[in-house]
Amino acid sequence: MQKLEVFGANKLKGQISISGSKNASLPILAATLLSNKKIYLKNLPKVKDIETMINLLESLGSKVKFHKKKFIIDNSSQKKKFASYNLVKTMRAGILVLGPLLAKFKNAKVSLPGGCAIGTRPIDIHLKALSKLGVKYKINQGYVHANAPKGLIGSKINFSKISVGATENLIIAACLAKGTTILTNCAIEPEIKDLVNFLTTIGCNIKWVAKRSVKIVGVNDTKEATYSVMFDRIEAGTYLIAAAVTEGNLKVKNILPNVIKTEINILKNIGAKINIKKDEVHIIGSKKIKNINIKTAPYPGFPTDLQAQIMVLLCKANKNSLIKEDIFENRFMHVAELNRMGGQILIKGNQAIVKGNTKFAAAELMATDLRASVSLILAALTTKGKSVINRIYHLDRGYENIEKKLKKVGAKIRRI
């Protein structure tokens, strides 16, 4: 099994170009199932989750090929409605094929999803909302068996809580439903706005009518289109934090700084010097890191996907900090490994008390999930000596060429 060796104590200097967004690409790939026309997608990241989603589409009968920096997806002969556990087990986004399959064929059998073990992530919000579009379902032996005898019929749906996946699934499904669907209490992450932009590009009728409300008028057909996926804001945030934690001097390019305003402001408050241009952020890390209290929240709040990374930086702060995890109930699994490196982090329920002035020591480490694994790299970059990170298949699910990108800006890191 592959591992990463990280030799620390280097300041990151130079520039890093950010890849396309994994979390935008996955729902967009699922949404291509709505169309029988050719779809050309650009800027998909080369990560394991994208490969898995493409394999899932191909198992459903989609024809996918890569040509001249574009993925060409042809669903003209796609007729299968069964998404197997073998393909869905490694990522929660697999459930996103349920909406388009029901919209297109009136029935589907989709495995309950997997992904990182960071919480229960139930799909009951998806299923309750789909039932209001006329879907009947049962769960049997780990599969959702769903059908809509009369097809999907537009409805008014208020989500019981803000859910990124449920918002995506329902927006996609409602595009081919009869009549009008109004969704309220929607998640408004930039990746959802990107999904809506894509769906509009292929001819769907979608309009935001309030901050968290969207109106979808069902259409009968879609059109051929080319679409470029947005940048990965979590990758961008990770490298900005990497610069801050190593007292580096880094330009993070190919981004829209306005999209990561919350993260930039927090890094400024902690002490980093930041200069913003049209499509890049230049960050210079400070020797003196200020403590801060943070809670994760749906966009535009601080993202749960950057909680592990910011924790590493706060271990270096001048005083204690508090992190409150309000999204997932089991997202502090990296804490045990950071404490093995010398961190002093105390967990109380959904809160982490992070003691400052930590000097991390090199160690052999075990990655537990996607974002936890990258937090271990960040901590290892600050040490003297060699750290070894095991189970890096988590990392490969969401970061494109991470060791190559880090090497380019001065990190001593290699895959073995």
Torsion sign over Cα 314, 315, 318, 324: positive
DSSP letters of 132-194?
Answer: TTT-EEEEETTEEEEE-TT--B--EEE-SS--HHHHHHHHHHHTTSBSEEEEES----HHHHH
> Among 280, 249, 248, 287, which residue's Cα sits nearest to residue 264?
280
Query: Where is 269: in which H helix or E strand?
Result: helix 261-270
**303 neighbors 331 (Cβ within 8 angstroms):** no
Q: Is 204 a catalytic residue?
A: no
Half-sphere exposure of 45 (CA within 13 A, CB side): 26
Strand 386-390 and strand 364-366: the pairing is parallel
Both tokens assigned to 248: 């580096």
Cα 66 to Cα 257: distance, rounded to the nearest angstrom = 30
The set of residues, in sequence order, having a beta carbon less than 8 Å from that of 401 and lying 6+ positions away, is 19, 46
**14 neighbors 251 (Cβ within 8 angstroms):** yes
Q: 354 — alpha (psi -120 to 50), left (phi > 0) or beta?
A: beta
Cα 154 to Cα 165: distance, rounded to the nearest angstrom = 19
Amino acid letter, 344: Q
Both tokens assigned to 167: 């918002």
Question: Choosing from 116, 175, 204, 315, which is the catalytic residue?
Answer: 116
Burial of residue 325 (number of CB atoms within 10 Å: 0-12, 13-18, 19+): buried
Supply the residues annotated as catalytic. Answer: 116
